[in-house]
Structure 1
Amino acid sequence: MAIQDFVVQITNEAVLLTILISLPAVVVSLIVGLAVAIFSATTQIQEQTLSFVPKIIAVFGVLAATAVWMGSIMVQFAAKCLGAFHEVVP
């Protein structure tokens, strides 16, 4: 395996892994933001922190709930990178 192929493969997997890991927090933030925007529009409350605080709490909750899953995926990726490294480097 050539070094260039290895770097391209690892970079591709790293980008996909980054998207996969960030997806739960982004989706929850989107849903909470939409719900708060609808609530704010119906009640005509124009408080700036009303949209910020619930999203922060929801994202921290999702990160806490999925921390073990995220950690295991990142450890598997690191083990894969380091395990394949000896095949590439002469």
Structure 2
Amino acid sequence: MKLKNSIKVKCVEGFTLHKNNKRKTIVAVVEEGKEYKAILFKPTEEYFAKDLEGRGFFVGEIDNNDKLILMDGLALVEDEGRDNYGQSTT
């Protein structure tokens, strides 16, 4: 299966990612209702996007069955009856 170089996701439940230092350092702020373009990192088959301040965050990955698995709180944006991963939504 050919992987898409990028996908579009929408945040359905906002969240903030922190480094493991007692929540002192923010890694990314993912805002509810915002759409993000995620780019495929081919060696690991993982998708990453950037928040509004340009901080990168993990969006999801392709599992061993070629299925897209997204982080909780994110949803794939659909376009004209097909999602951006090429799967039919009908």
Shorter-chain TM-score range? under 0.3
User: Which has a greater percent of strand?
Assistant: 2
Q: Which has the larger radius of gyration?
A: 1
User: Which has a greater percent of helix?
Assistant: 1
Q: TM-score, normalised by structure 2?
A: 0.22
Q: TM-score, normalised by structure 1?
A: 0.22
